[in-house]
Amino acid sequence: MLGQSASIKELEAQLKKVGTTQEQMMLNYELGKAYLKSNKKKAEDHAYKAALDARKLNDKEMAARAYFLNAQAKLKNRDRKGARTRFNTSFDYAKKTNNPALILEVLKELVEIEKRLNNYKAAYSHTESALEIIKNSKQVASSSPPPSYSGTSSILKDNRALAQEKQDLENEIQKLQEQRSKLATDKSSLTERQKQLEEEKSNIEAEKTIIESEKEEIAATVAAKEARINKMTNEQVRTKAKILEKEKAITDLKIQKQEQDLAVMEAKQRNSYLLLASALGSLLMLFFYLRYRSNRKAKTVLLEKNKLIEDERERSDDLLKNILPANIAEELKEHGKAKARRYENATVMFSDFVNFTKISEQLTPEQLVQELDTCFRGFDQIIAQYNLEKIKTIGDAYMVAHGLKDRVTVPLDIIKAAIDMQEFLEDLKVEKMRQGLPYFEARIGIHSGPVVAGVVGLNKFAYDIWGDTVNIAARMEANCDPGKVNISEKTYGLVKYNFNCRYRGKISAKNKGQIDMYYVESKVTKSVPSFV
- How many structural domains compose the chain? 3
Contact 451, 467 (CB under 8 A): yes
Q: Which of 270, 296, 323 is the last residue of a domain?
A: 323
Rounded Cα gap, residues 482 and 157, in angstroms: 76
Q: 345 and 256 in one domain? A: no
Strand runs (DSSP E) across 285-353, as ranges? 341-353
In a domain, 229, yes or no: no
Q: What residue type is assigned to position 254 of the chain?
A: K
Q: 477 and 358 in one domain? A: yes
Residue-level pLDDT at 431: 93
Residue-level pLDDT at 481: 95
Contact 95, 103 (CB under 8 A): yes
Contact 320, 333 (CB under 8 A): yes
| 531 torsion bin: left (phi>0), alpha (psi -120 to 50), beta (else) | beta
In a domain, 353, yes or no: yes
Rounded Cα gap, residues 521 and 15, in angstroms: 43
Backbone torsions φ then ψ of 453, nearest 5 degrees: -120, 145
Rounded Cα gap, residues 473 and 446, in angstroms: 5
HEC per residue, 16-79: HHCCCHHHHHHHHHHHHHHHCCCCHHHHHHHHHHHHHHHHHHCCHHHHHHHHHHHHHHHHHCCC
169 DSSP 8-state letter: H
The strand pair at 513-523 and 499-509 is best described as antiparallel
Q: Which of 290, 323, 356 is the last residue of a domain?
A: 323
Q: Which of 323, 351, 373 is the last residue of a domain?
A: 323
- The tens place of each residue's pLDDT in the chain, 532 residues long, gives 334 444 788 888 888 888 788 888 999 999 988 898 888 898 899 989 999 999 999 998 898 898 999 888 888 888 888 888 888 888 888 888 878 888 888 888 878 877 877 777 777 777 777 677 766 765 555 544 443 333 334 434 544 555 566 566 667 667 766 766 776 676 677 777 778 778 878 878 887 788 777 778 777 876 776 676 566 566 776 777 778 888 888 888 888 888 887 887 877 778 777 878 777 888 888 888 888 888 888 888 888 887 777 777 767 666 665 667 777 777 777 776 778 899 999 999 999 999 999 998 999 999 999 999 999 999 999 999 999 999 999 989 999 999 988 788 889 999 999 999 999 999 999 999 999 999 999 999 999 999 999 888 777 677 899 999 999 999 999 999 999 999 999 999 999 999 999 999 999 998 889 999 999 998 887 554 544 4
| 385 torsion bin: left (phi>0), alpha (psi -120 to 50), beta (else) | alpha
Residue 184's Cβ-side half-sphere holds a number of Cα atoms within 13 Å equal to 6
448 strand-pairing partners = 347
Q: 25 and 165 in one domain? A: yes
Backbone torsions φ then ψ of 390, nearest 5 degrees: -75, 125
What residues make up the domain containing 359?
Answer: 341-523
Q: Quickly list DSSP for 174-197.
A: HHHHHHHHHHHHHHHHHHHHHHHH
In a domain, 202, yes or no: no
In a domain, 153, yes or no: yes
Q: 133 and 10 in one domain? A: yes
Q: 398 and 354 in one domain? A: yes
Helix or strand (DSSP H, E) at 480: none
